[in-house]
Structure 1
């Protein structure tokens, strides 16, 4: 698992120079290192499951997410990866995936989307922007930081 993450950072690390100043670097979190409760009300976890670290679908999904990482980070997305079907990670025990699966959780910890194939970051951003809590966050942001009238 760590090998997969190191390879991925090496391949896409150069793109981090073009990221927005505020966006943290794109670093997927191994599922064995966290519990899903840690992210409740703080982040929108995107869970990626596969049967093997070199699964082409998970590599493609990571690539798609990395391309739009600043926009995803702005929406409080964290990427959690589990490529060991025998692991007993909190994410795998709660979601019970079979093969490749991408799961988007809302901030309240509920499953918002399940996809059996890679999903573009653009589609993911659209799904997040339709969530009631995200709509509320945007309204609050606009209220606190209104655009000046020219």
Structure 2
């Protein structure tokens, strides 16, 4: 019994060797890199869906960086708007991969400047290319496949894939 209790009470002294130190440093570096890379992805996920402000009169700040998908609707509870947002939410990674940012205007009474410029009636989805040009206008919700294939046919997208 004495042998067992003395065995349990003795503590092993761990003396790190050079190899262990290198492995530990590598693990720390690896974890730091993962956290650093994951932060922008998380931030991108949080900013992909935004509300369009009433004073926005153009989308110049997105030009050459993003492909804005502007969604106009009579209200947030509009059936077409709810359906379209559900479709887009289910395709977040594909949208992020294609540099898409979704901007919503669900308050026609606020007389937003971009709404006045594009003059949507009821529900409307407008895809703007990175060059700032209108690439697609739809009065009904569209599938993710239609949106993504439209983008995939664009010259800038093809160049990014090569």
| TM above 0.5 | yes
| Superposition deviation, residue 127 in structure 1 | 0.3
Q: Say if 1:50 and 1:58, in contact at 8 Å, map to a contact too.
A: yes
Q: Is residue 154 of structure 2 the alignment partner of residue 107 of structure 1?
A: no
Structure 1 stretch 44-53 or stretch 82-91: which is displaced more?
A: 82-91
| Matches of 2:77 and 2:114, distance apart in 1 | 20
Unpaired segments ≥5 residues, structure 1: 1-20, 140-150
Which residue does the alignment assign to 2:149?
Answer: 126
| Superposition deviation, residue 39 in structure 1 | 0.6
Q: Is residue 29 of structure 2 the alignment partner of residue 29 of structure 1?
A: no
Which residue does the alignment assign to 2:65?
Answer: 42
Q: Which ranges of 4 or more aligned residues in structure 1 deviate by more than 6 Å?
A: none
TM-score (norm 1): 0.73
| Matches of 1:94 and 1:38, distance apart in 2 | 17
- Calculate the aligned-residue CA RMSD, in Å: 1.7
1:40-119 → structure 2 map (5 Å cutoff)? 40-119=63-142
Per-residue CA distance 1:58-107 (angstroms, 9 max, x = gap): 01000000111101111000000001112333431331100000110000
Unpaired segments ≥5 residues, structure 2: 1-37
Structure with the higher fraction of residues in helix conformation: 2
Greater C-alpha Rg = 2
Which residue does the alignment assign to 1:143?
Answer: none
1:3-22 → structure 2 map (5 Å cutoff)? 22=41
Per-residue CA distance 1:21-59 (angstroms, 9 max, x = gap): 646325521111754111111100000001112101001
Which residue does the alignment assign to 2:17?
Answer: none
| Matches of 1:80 and 1:95, distance apart in 2 | 14
